[in-house]
Structure 1
């Protein structure tokens, strides 16, 4: 498979991205339908492992790993396509934490020991940037000062999470095996967090688009007072406004992924814009989905609650919208508020 050239900054999907998206959606539809994802909240996770196995067969864990280390040598654009599909399904997967953030750190540091195991899907990794940490993870990448250590065998204590499809845990590193990865990892960690925030925006677009499309489909069928609910002018205006928001978010996320893929100097600005905007659009779209589905949207069986929880959790995962706006203000030399 030939992937997009890093120099290509077009926002339009090419054939490779389209085919990749279709393959990912097929795997998610098979292994992570809403009723099985719902089971995660009842303590029965029969989704994560089968879906990760399917992703491994597609070569997705190694999407950003160089070909010389067993990966696909793809770019942020392809990874963004995967995350958008994960957002559409609110599906549990370590793809963001392991295949994007942790992988980006290790690639930047020139690692050749851990990356092959991540590319094969044999192991997963997570960057420990503060308690609690996202799971699952076989290897924790732990910053200490400017250094970065790979830690195995840490004691893990799961904690409650609003989005149980992205489980969290407190970690005790005492007595765990650790190996120095680099004594100068600060720049690599910053690059990985920027990549993570930029591609998380794609997942948020997936959440928002599912919410919009599902709501439109429902309102085309739901009748009230003898009329199709979607025919009411007030609802048409709300959906039109939401459609505009989702399309704007999609453009922002695609541009962020394109600049990350090409190494464009505009990447930090593009990422902070996308992260701030897409975060709020995802929450708004998910809230609208629940409200416009009426009583159905409040039921446990309907997947709207899964998408609202994912949107709310994503809004804090790699920085709040306010934090990204503050970072953006510094980059574009806006004056501090008085």
Structure 2
């Protein structure tokens, strides 16, 4: 299912979806925002572990039952098992094409790489997005939120918002829910018969809502790669404590964000060991304070992933290293 908000094109308007995101997090509901950077499927620790296992086998052929046997040994049903479930989903789709046939390993790896590229557009749980971002997409179930639909943006004609509302409505394949404030919604109220009389509508009467919990004022922020120092761990030799600390982390692990005396931002584990750093492009939320940080994903990088101009900064002994993608949670206040 997807929820579409009437936010305009300005990036900050994604924040109108923050209360919904916080509500889902509070209730343990899978949720994602369409503006989150979900790149890097191929370099995920879990994906690289499977590729490493496949390439160390003696056979140049592989079949689905063998892959499933190996995946059955990996975590399942735990908070840190999200990305393993992702790989199981990939193998299930591969089985639809390949069945149980034994095929060349390169065939499967090429297929997996393509699946990973498409996975960037896959939906996990409830998807929150703006009407502009929803253009060209379709979903089985859509809820369109009420808000400032009648307010035109700069350089837009008077009919632009009506067209945008139409875009939001027509994203639904099966069911469409249109939210309406008590003060009315001009376009819904103008429909033939009105929303209260038309047989095309299943009207749900407004019910009093309880006082919103303070958690709805929180802001969940998954950082993109541009905001992360991707090769921080690579500046230390393989035996350094940072690599052991990274190896002990999993998706969902609690971490902390701290600022150094020089103003740089560091990620550290429960023992205070630095496990990552943020880049100069990171800016903390204003008028809010961080209350929680956790690992969203862990990626594996190698020297070939580093631009030539920056390779001199990494340890010559590092053949690979891990990089944490954090999710930060902020609450109002300084």
TM normalised by structure 1 equals 0.25
Larger Rg: 2
Higher relative contact order (CA 8 A, sep 6+): 2
Q: Give TM-score, length-normalised by structure 2.
A: 0.25
User: Relative to total residues, which structure has the larger strand share, 1 or 2?
Assistant: 2
